Chain A
Amino acid sequence: MLFLSALVACACLSGCHGKTGQRSFEIPEEFDTAKQYEITFWAKNDTNKTQTRIYENAIAAFEELYPNITVNMRLYTDYGRIYNDVITNISTDTTPNVCITYPDHIATYLTGGDTVVPLNGLFDDEKYGLGGSEVLFDAPAKEEIIPQFLEECSFGGTYYAIPYMRSTEACYVNKTFVEKLGYELPDVLTWDFVWEVSDAAAKKNADGTFALNGQNVMIPFLYKSTDNMMIQMLKQKDAGYSTPDGEIQIFSDTTEELLYNIADHVKKGAFSTFKISSYPANFLNAGQCVFAVDSTAGATWMGTDAPLIDISADKIVEFETAVLPVPQFDPEHPQMISQGPSVCVFNKADPQEVLASWLFAQYLLTNEVQIAYSETEGYVPVTAKAQQSPEYRDYLARSGEDNAAHYRVKIEAAELLLDHTDDTFVTPVFNGSASLRDAAGQLIEHVTKSVRRKQTVDETYMKDLYADITSLYHLEQGVSQGGGSLAGKADLGPLPPTAVALLAALAAAWALILLYALRRVWKKRRGEK
């Protein structure tokens, strides 16, 4: 038994320990400017030429300051693709040096051992830390990073990333339609209000067209990210999502109640999702949607005068766009998700190369980059230094001056987050939290599709749905099976062979002791007989 236990312990430990051979990073005393460093930067943009140009300008300006560092950029338009490519490259030890990423993804990267550089030491380093004495540009001090945004990059007391941009979700409302239906738009939307107006907007004429717009298409309430929808609903209800340790809590009665409510409104034709129907902006701008929920970083696509448009000009209708926080259960205490790209630095054999990478990552926090990039969309800068700069304040003050750089909807979307930073939250990060996020969204997607397909959504359906989603996203045993929480300590991956051998030897020794003891007992009993 003891032997078996020891073997099990061996197997468990070796199964959840990390990739071997990676070395811990130690900050060099001096940055070696005599040696050339070539680093790779995997960047994400929103399929936005201005954003890619800002990255290019940032790289050029940085290389001018540090002529011995060359930054090679690879562009992505999808966080998921970056995540997949990083995972692939961890196994071959060919990760990029600097990478735009989401905290949920970093949790998985960390299962590969010392793949991602812990940044606490670098933050505080006198010479090369945030605003350090030897840094050749005007970097922000640690205290100048917005605390909520910085904390989102901390797992178990260790920082593994720096925030780059932040956004939240907004509800872009066709105010003209709301008033046409006889309603007055409140400052903060409630779920009840949105459902009531959406049900009213779904009414049809005798000829099958919709009464509100006279068209054949109307999706009154359209949600881009159903992951966020479920996460925010549960948070606002003070219901469980997950614990910091990775215990899964979404399969609850509250979730079921929310899903039934959503199903009721899908049945009335009041609600759909991006995955089922398409981009909310396209329907909003065509006068086929009343409430379109999307990221504040998608604001330039929203509204009659939006600078970015994906539908033909003849389909666009005139209406007034209001930018409001996502619907709330308790409008007195609004709660909304904080999201947006962060930047992590990957570990390499040469600490000087890592230091070069860190310097570039830090450069992305300068006012030049922060302000320029945030103005491309409804993002907000992550530093107080940028947010309070005269240049940025002037940008905000010029809201509505034009439909390009000062597009009103975009600036109001950014202001929404600036005004509600204290009302934002993030979900716990652990190895498996990315799967849980997908699962939360899929509950809504499945119910919505099922109602549209005239399937019965009842208790049996919900039971099966919970089972299917649990299995599909490998949530059977909570996430401790897959690695566990980062609130305490990062999962360490497979044990080194020496440790496995040591544990096996210990197990064997215990087994021999046990065998010897049993033999003694057996001999003694035989002697007594």
Chain B
Amino acid sequence: MTLTSDPNLADPDATYAALIAAHDGLTEAESAALNARLVLVLMNHIGDATVLRAALEVAHGSGAGASGGDI
């Protein structure tokens, strides 16, 4: 299994808005804790160690450049 680097959300704006709304009213520490829990939940959902390693590389900024192009 490989990390999906193409857009994969059916409604990116709605999904993003839900993510931001989840942080409404939280302190910075609470937000950081929410993010940590969220990452752990998603990590478990993904399961695949290769994919997770690739995702960590992308997040660290060392991932391979995805193909460009219009969206």
Q: Do A and B truly interact?
A: no
Binding site for B on A (CB under 8 A): none
Interface residues, chain B, CB within 8 Å of chain A?
none
